[in-house]
Structure 1
Amino acid sequence: MNDADVSKQIQQMVRFIRQEAEEKANEISVSAEEEFNIEKLQLVEAEKKKIRLEYERKEKQVQVRKKIEYSMQLNASRIKVLQAQDDLVNSMKEAAAKELLDISHHHHNYERLVKELIVQSLLRLKEPSVLLRCRKADFHFVESVLHSAKEEYANKAKVHSPEIIVDHIHLPPAPSDEDVHASFCSGGVVLASRDGKIVFENSLDARLDVVFRKKLPEIRKSLFSQVAA
């Protein structure tokens, strides 16, 4: 083989090696680009997922805040409604309490009422000896009906006429515009056993409280049933 043939063969080998190198380089470049694109796509998808999750988290936070705010507003509205209802009910009770003051002004009717309250109190206590308290202004009413009240109780309970001691300590007077915070009593009586262990409050104010507590569900239903509906 002469030099020309050797040179030609070497050139062919060089071209073959170069071509293989270029093909391999192209394969590596394509493979690298594919891997890059796949990795880029994965990164983009990961970021999208991250952004989507963050958005969902913030959306949930917004929904939770909205629910909390709505619940707070709803509770505040309910409290206002309940407060308005309580104010109305209390104003009715105050109006009724003011009307109690007129009862003692009708002397004949009030005297009969005092007697009935004493008899009722004796029937509740069923004690042979009791202590009675009344307003200073009602002392003469109590004195005038005391004997007949004891006799009526004795007949109803079928016992001996009880001993009733009218206490020198009086119940508070009627309400006064001069001192609206002072203790007051609209009338009636309070009886207690001699040892003070049993007390039956039969004042007009106490009776109003009892009746009002008993009738409160009925009052609320009558006033606010349409509102609730």
Structure 2
Amino acid sequence: MNDADVSKQIQQMVRFIRQEAEEKANEISVSAEEEFNIEKLQLVEAEKKKIRQEYERKEKQVEVRKKIEYSMQLNASRIKVLQAQDDLVNSMKESASKHLLHVSQHHHTYKHLLKDLIVQSLLRLKEPSVLLRCRKDDVHLVESVLHSAEEEYSEKAKVHPPEIIVDHIYLPPAPAHHDAHGPSCSGGVVLASRDGKIVFENTLDARLDVVFRKKLPEIRKSLFGQIAA
């Protein structure tokens, strides 16, 4: 083989090696490009997932805040409604208290009422001797009905007439405009056993409190309708 043939074969081998190298380089480049694109896609998807998770977390926080705010506003509204209802009910009681003041102004009717209150108190206490306390302005009316009250109690309870001692410590007077917040009493009596261990408050104010507490559900239903539990 002459030099020209050898040179030709060497050149062919060089071209073959170069072509193979280029193909391998292209293959490596394509593989690297694919791996890069896959990794880039994975990174993009991972970031998207993180963004979605963060968005969902913040969305849940917003929903929770909305629910809390709604609940707070609803409770505040309910409290306002209940307060308004209580104010109306209390105004009714205040109005009733003012009407109690007129009871003692009708002496004949009030005198009979005092007797009934005393008899009722005696029946509750069932004591042979009691202390009676009333307003200073009512002492003369109370003393005028004591005997008939004792006799009526004696007949109803089938016992001897009790001893009733009128206390000289009086109940507060009727409410006055100049002292609206001071102690007051619209009328009635308070009876107690001699040792003071048993006390029965039978004033008009106490009876109003009892009736009002007892009738409060009916009053609320009448004013505000049936309230769901």
Q: Normalising by structure 2, what TM-score?
A: 0.97
Q: Is the 8 A contact 2:130 2:192 kept in 1?
A: yes
Instruction: Please give the secondary structure, in 2, of the residue aligned with 1:173.
Output: coil
Distance 1:31 1:7 in 2: 36
Listed one character per residue, the Cα deviations across residues 18-68 of structure 1 (whole Å, up to 9, x for unaligned) are 111111110111001101111111111111111111111111111111111
Distance 1:147 1:97 in 2: 30
Q: Please state how far the C-alpha of 1:227 moved relative to its aligned partner.
A: 8.1
Distance 1:146 1:17 in 2: 139
Residue in 1 aligned with 2:117?
Answer: 117
For 1:137, give the aligned amino acid: D
Listed one character per residue, the Cα deviations across residues 82-102 of structure 1 (whole Å, up to 9, x for unaligned) are 000000000000000000000
Listed one character per residue, the Cα deviations across residues 202-223 of structure 1 (whole Å, up to 9, x for unaligned) are 0000000000000000000000
Residue in 2 aligned with 1:64?
Answer: 64
Instruction: Please give the secondary structure, in 2, of the residue aligned with 1:197.
Output: coil
Distance 2:227 2:128 in 1: 52
Instruction: Please give the secondary structure, in 2, of the residue aligned with 1:122.
Output: helix
What are the equivalent positions in structure 2 for 1:66-105 lying under 5 Å apart? 66-105=66-105
1:18 aligns with 2:18: yes
Q: Structure 1: which 4+ aligned runs deviate by more than 6 Å?
A: none
Distance 1:17 1:201 in 2: 122
Residue in 1 aligned with 2:139?
Answer: 139
For 1:224, give the aligned amino acid: F
Distance 1:129 1:212 in 2: 31
Distance 2:5 2:129 in 1: 152
What are the equivalent positions in structure 2 for 1:146-165 lying under 5 Å apart? 146-165=146-165
1:225 aligns with 2:205: no
Q: Normalising by structure 1, what TM-score?
A: 0.97
Instruction: Please give the secondary structure, in 1, of the residue aligned with 2:185.
Output: coil
Distance 2:160 2:77 in 1: 60
Distance 1:138 1:13 in 2: 140
Q: CA RMSD in A?
A: 1.1
Instruction: Please give the secondary structure, in 1, of the residue aligned with 2:164.
Output: strand
For 1:225, give the aligned amino acid: G
Residue in 2 aligned with 1:7?
Answer: 7
Q: Please state how far the C-alpha of 1:103 moved relative to its aligned partner.
A: 0.3
Instruction: Please give the secondary structure, in 2, of the residue aligned with 1:90.
Output: helix
Q: Is the 8 A contact 2:221 2:227 kept in 1?
A: no
Listed one character per residue, the Cα deviations across residues 169-207 of structure 1 (whole Å, up to 9, x for unaligned) are 000000011111100000000001111111100000000
Runs of at least 5 residues in structure 1 that lack an aligned partner in the other structure: none
Q: Name the stretch that deviates more: 39-48 or 210-219.
A: 39-48
Distance 1:41 1:78 in 2: 54
Q: 1:227 to 1:197 in 2, by over 3 A?
A: closer
Distance 2:125 2:199 in 1: 8
Runs of at least 5 residues in structure 2 that lack an aligned partner in the other structure: none
Instruction: Please give the secondary structure, in 2, of the residue aligned with 1:181.
Output: coil
Distance 2:113 2:205 in 1: 14
Instruction: Please give the secondary structure, in 2, of the residue aligned with 1:191.
Output: strand
